[in-house]
Chains A and B, each alone.
Chain A
Amino acid sequence: MEIEDENNFKLRPMKCELNYLSRSDGSAILAQGETVVLVSVNGPLDIKSTSQSIEKATLEVLFCTKGGKPSVADRFKENIIRQTCETAILGCLYPRTGISLTIQELEDFGGLLTCTVNCACLALLNSGIAMRHMVAAVCCAVSEEGNLVLEPSYTQVQSASALLYFVFDSRERNLVTGFTEGSFSENTYEEALARCRLASDVVFDFYRDIVKQYSDVI
């Protein structure tokens, strides 16, 4: 299914299954195009006293690559996901506890981090942890000619002169997280941000559709 809205934003087809794992508190598997990620959420649970915080829940993120070997770049990804989810979760409701988020990369054909953030949000929704807002990540590539491509494919990622990633909140569409690769002008950045902000609606609609399938209340 190709996802399109009235503004003609074409994102890569998204497929999702919640409760994919039976033993975790919440889990989701999400495919965006050919990129596939599996996320499991456990918590709030007991953690060792040194990492407890008296003000809010401690979020632990573990990112497992397909290759299995941990690297400095993985710590960076974990940091992005932890900080994004920390703003989304109402951690003050679960003081002195830990919430653990385990991410397994299954396939990477570009846009791995957007897929991971979206999948983490779905897994958190599935686990029933109280959240301030949802988050939606959208990626935008700047091609050699300076054209903007939303949710680029693998070949487009390889040939792009810059890649811009944005994560928005569901309430006011404000920027929660953003990070970039390559260099670009201010105008390009502004335009990419505006287009990704509009495209995030598609992702939030997708969340609604998925959650609807698993719950008859909404």
Chain B
Amino acid sequence: MAEVYKLIHPVKYFNDYINRNVRPDGRKFDDQRDIKLNVNAIKSADASAVVKCGNTTVVCGIKLELAKPKAEEPELGFFVTNVELLPLCSSKFRPGPPSDHAQVVSNVVSDICINSKSVNLKELCIVPDKLAWVVYCDMVCLDNDGSIVDACIITLMTSLKSLTLPKVNYDVETEEIVVDTSVRMPLNITGLPIATSFAVYQQSPRSIVLIDPSADEEEMCGGVGANLIICCNDEQFCGIQKFGGSNLSTEAEKKTLAIAKERSKLVEKVIETCLINEIK
């Protein structure tokens, strides 16, 4: 019955829940979904991780390649991130070239990585002007049930933390490259950016902030994807994006910053625990 009601009166259905201070999936406004994280899910990749935040599932695989650095930046390696939202993950996506939304998500994720300065591109350079690592980070969404950026950042950072670079010997004279895969060095990652998504719902006169929104909630709040994404990195912020949805007052905005900080500590613990378990 509830399913039919949801289809016929989607707004009233949602409002009825919100009026009782509960969300359609039974969470409170400030409850987040459980996170399940698994490192080294893809054995053929150089590093990988799968995360499940509620139903949202994202796989990240990292592939290493060697290349010649750009002439204008001879001391920098390459770090490329890409997010794919395939028709598999939601009925909203069609086969073919990436949709606008997929491009926006990809851009947000890569911006967070650049702004947090977690990966030092200089470390990816082996011999200046001759040889450098290219780190391809491909994230594929298997199931899109909202807060996609959060999930992407968690799998990306977990994969990066577990990534090891093999030793490379480069002979300057003969230009011969010898890769020794038995000696591997971990990549230094400074800080740990963690993104937290929010949806802002206008139920006049109050505006309600929903943490870790599901796809249905994001749609009800009018935005394409989450309305507010806050990315914390060691007490600092490396990206606060707010698009669409209801307008945000000063008090609501302060509250979201505090929540994002708290959640980042929790997610940090999840990632650390997962990595320690993997080593055992």
Q: Which of A158-186 contact B (CB under 8 A)?
A: 164, 169, 172, 174-186
Query: What's the Cα separation between A165 and B239 when bound, in Å?
Result: 11
A189–B237 CB distance below 8 A: yes
A75–B107 CB distance below 8 A: yes
Query: What's the Cα separation between A179 and B248 when bound, in Å?
Result: 14
Q: Does B235 contact A (CB under 8 A)?
A: yes
Contacts of B101 in A (CB 8 A): 79
Q: Does A1 contact B (CB under 8 A)?
A: no
Contacts of B254 in A (CB 8 A): 190
**Nearest-Cβ distance from residue A36 to partner chain B, whole angstroms:** 24
Across the interface, name the chain B residue whose C-beta is closest to A162.
Answer: B115
B247–A172 CB distance below 8 A: yes
**Nearest-Cβ distance from residue B112 to partner chain A, whole angstroms:** 10
A178–B104 CB distance below 8 A: no
Q: Does B243 contact A (CB under 8 A)?
A: yes
Query: What's the Cα separation between A182 and B106 when bound, in Å?
Result: 17
Across the interface, name the chain B residue whose C-beta is closest to A194.
Answer: B250
Query: What's the Cα separation between A177 and B222 when bound, in Å?
Result: 14
Q: Does B253 contact A (CB under 8 A)?
A: yes
A183–B242 CB distance below 8 A: no
Q: Given that A76-B104, A177-B242, A181-B115 are contacting pairs, would A87 and B237 also be in contact in the complex, using a CB cutoff of 8 Å?
A: no
Q: Given that A76-B107, A86-B244 are contacting pairs, would A175 and B253 also be in contact in the complex, using a CB cutoff of 8 Å?
A: yes
**Nearest-Cβ distance from residue A112 to partner chain B, whole angstroms:** 16
A174–B116 CB distance below 8 A: no
Across the interface, name the chain A residue whose C-beta is closest to B110.
Answer: A72
Query: What's the Cα separation between A186 and B238 when bound, in Å?
Result: 10
Query: What's the Cα separation between A179 and B243 when bound, in Å?
Result: 8
B233–A177 CB distance below 8 A: no
Interface residues on A, range: 20 to 34
Q: Given that A177-B242, A178-B240 are contacting pairs, would A183 and B233 also be in contact in the complex, using a CB cutoff of 8 Å?
A: yes
B248–A174 CB distance below 8 A: yes
A-B CB contacts (within 8 Å), total count: 88
Q: Does A151 contact B (CB under 8 A)?
A: no
A72–B237 CB distance below 8 A: no
Q: Does B236 contact A (CB under 8 A)?
A: yes
Q: Does A198 contact B (CB under 8 A)?
A: no
Query: What's the Cα separation between A75 and B101 when bound, in Å?
Result: 8
Q: Which of A64-99 contact B (CB under 8 A)?
A: 72-73, 75-76, 78-80, 83-84, 86-87
B247–A183 CB distance below 8 A: no
Q: Does A140 contact B (CB under 8 A)?
A: no
Query: What's the Cα separation between A79 and B242 when bound, in Å?
Result: 11
Q: Given that A76-B107, A193-B253 are contacting pairs, would A182 and B238 also be in contact in the complex, using a CB cutoff of 8 Å?
A: yes
B236–A185 CB distance below 8 A: yes
Across the interface, name the chain B residue whose C-beta is closest to A76.
Answer: B107
B107–A179 CB distance below 8 A: no
B237–A184 CB distance below 8 A: yes
B236–A83 CB distance below 8 A: no
B236 in complex: contacting residue of A76, A177, A179, A184, CB < 8 Å: A184
Contacts of B175 in A (CB 8 A): none
Across the interface, name the chain B residue whose C-beta is closest to A178.
Answer: B242
B237–A180 CB distance below 8 A: yes
Query: What's the Cα separation between A215 and B111 when bound, in Å?
Result: 43
Across the interface, name the chain A residue whose C-beta is closest to B102.
Answer: A75
B107 in complex: contacting residue of A72, A84, A172, A180, CB < 8 Å: A72
Q: List 15 A-B contacts (CB under 8 A).
A: A72-B103, A76-B103, A79-B224, A87-B222, A172-B249, A174-B249, A175-B247, A178-B241, A178-B242, A180-B241, A181-B111, A183-B237, A184-B236, A186-B261, A193-B253
Shortest 4 CB-CB distances between A and B: which pairs?
A: A83-B244, A174-B247, A183-B238, A75-B103
Query: Residues on A close to B: CB < 8 A?
Result: 72-73, 75-76, 78-80, 83-84, 86-87, 164, 169, 172, 174-186, 189-190, 193
Query: Residues on B close to A: CB < 8 A?
Result: 100-101, 103-104, 106-108, 111, 115-117, 222-224, 233, 235-245, 247-250, 253-254, 257, 261
Known: A78-B100, A175-B242; 8 extra A-B contacts, CB below 8 A, are A75-B104, A76-B108, A84-B244, A87-B222, A172-B249, A183-B115, A184-B236, A189-B237
